[in-house]
Structure 1
Amino acid sequence: MKTILIVEDEDILREISKDYFLNEGYKVLEAADGKAALLSFQEHEVDLVVLDIMLPELDGWSVCRRIRKQSDVPIIMLTARVDEDDTLLGFELGADDYVTKPYSPPVLLARAKRLLESRSRIGKSAQPDDSVNTNGIRAHIPSRSVTIDGAAVNFTHTEFEILTYLMQNPGIVITREQLITKIWGYEYAGDDRTINTHIRNLRTKLGVKAGMIVTVVRTGYKFEANA
């Protein structure tokens, strides 16, 4: 049974979302503020976090940042803001997806299912030694871990998905539309800056290997093993 941590200070919204997840067979943990959310995350095994941005005690940005220091658990951020820059900030901090308020609970449930299923699908299909290795970058599929020249580097769920997708298709131009379909699998409501932000995060973490992800102007990206 997968466990969902819902962090939302509006009681009605939290209860409605909770009911939808419970009806689908998930275990649900609740938190009404940022500090309670971090405490619950520390005390329980959590498979996915639904995280509101505007919270008392500690805001969603801070909670996301602290969770990312210790875990790559999928995070969906809830925001009442319409400013795209706020969404991009969430991605920069390590969020995997976002839902804008007011939202439909079935939509939130569908987004959560996709994130959870993509992780489970990789785990089930992979063999113990399944990995992608290129010029010192090793992405181990079953454990969703990455090492660069032997040193472990933490990647978020979405960053790992993008990196492995590019590495498994070396030299092939992958359009932004292909990445969006592969990673999110639903009608996209944002703009190209979302993908750009994830790619920028990837390059930062890849360090001296960053040049392997090549930008193809007005199209997308490709992974060049010899870059």
Structure 2
Amino acid sequence: MARKILVVDDEKSIVKALCYALKKEGYEVGKAFDGIEALKVYEVFKPDMIILDIMMPRFNGYDFCKKIMGEKVWILMVTAKTDVIDKVLGLELGADDYITKPFDIRELLARVKSGIRRMDKSMKEGQRNTSIRRGELELIYENRQAILRNEDMELTPKEFLLLYELLANPNKVYSRDELLDKVWGMEYVGGTRTVDTHIQRLRRKLGKKYEKLIYTVHGVGYKGRADI
């Protein structure tokens, strides 16, 4: 079955060119010209991947990411901005990769193929070990769900994957660079500080008791614990 890709951009010429190139590669393609229309198409089309422009009228790409945060869909962010902070914001809202305008269509297609390979790898890894339990905390890989004291935790996709990686391999010490590679899967533009930021958020959400599942190895990085 062909992978389904949703193209979202307010520039019709770009949408037309991307749709043509993706269809030529064998993908099933949907399109939208702003964030509001994209949400409607997303609900019906159910894409595997979204190529998402950030700067759009009415409802921009950041707003769209917030709306679908936690969904199992790969997001390739397209931005005309070159500032690192803009790219970091999109990635921390759930985007998985980014490309800057103007771009070569061959580079975009290569990133699409890379994203699909990572999705396939992630699914296979999830099939091997679908859930992790630590006391009243349960992580279910298949639907990226975290449950603490019978309540769903509101984790971003990256927060979930980071916590899952640490707890799936208890007592393994990870450097920040290793965690970037495991969770973000690319040379991340924001640097290793984003790992610390995500760890801080996870600890706050886990609370006083369960924050101890994440241990700081000073001068190196972090490790997950098998128990509290």
**TM-score normalized by structure 1?**
0.82
| TM-aligned CA deviation for residue 158 of structure 1 | 3.1
Aligned length: 226
Aligned-residue Cα RMSD (Å) equals 2.8
Correspondence 1:180 to 2:195: no
Tell whether the 8 Å contact from 1:88 to 1:197 is kept in structure 2 after alignment.
no
Q: Which residue of the partner structure matches residue 53 of structure 1?
A: 54
Residue type of the alignment partner of 1:92: E
Tell whether the 8 Å contact from 2:93 to 2:156 is kept in structure 1 after alignment.
no
1:165-202 deviation line (CA, Å, top 9, x unaligned):
11122122211221222234444444223333443443
Q: Which residue of the partner structure matches residue 146 of structure 1?
A: 146
Tell whether the 8 Å contact from 1:137 to 1:147 is kept in structure 2 after alignment.
yes
Q: Which residue of the partner structure matches residue 34 of structure 1?
A: 35
| TM-aligned CA deviation for residue 139 of structure 1 | 1.9
Q: Which residue of the partner structure matches residue 224 of structure 2?
A: 223
Q: Which residue of the partner structure matches residue 85 of structure 2?
A: 85
Cα separation, 2, equivalents of 1:104 and 1:36: 26
Structure 2: runs of 5 or more not aligned: none
| TM-aligned CA deviation for residue 124 of structure 1 | 4.1
1:58-114 deviation line (CA, Å, top 9, x unaligned):
11111111122x734222222222222222322333323322323333433343334
CA distance change for structure 1 residues 130 and 116 in 2, over 3 Å: closer, same or farther?
Answer: same
Cα separation, 2, equivalents of 1:207 and 1:20: 47
Q: Percent identity?
A: 37
| SS of 2:99 mapped into structure 1 | strand
Q: Which residue of the partner structure matches residue 117 of structure 2?
A: 117
Cα separation, 2, equivalents of 1:115 and 1:203: 29
Cα separation, 2, equivalents of 1:74 and 1:206: 26
**TM-score normalized by structure 2?**
0.82
Cα separation, 2, equivalents of 1:98 and 1:26: 20
Tell whether the 8 Å contact from 1:8 to 1:31 is kept in structure 2 after alignment.
yes
Residue type of the alignment partner of 1:169: N
Cα separation, 1, equivalents of 2:85 and 2:177: 20
Cα separation, 2, equivalents of 1:61 and 1:82: 16
Tell whether the 8 Å contact from 2:137 to 2:146 is kept in structure 1 after alignment.
yes
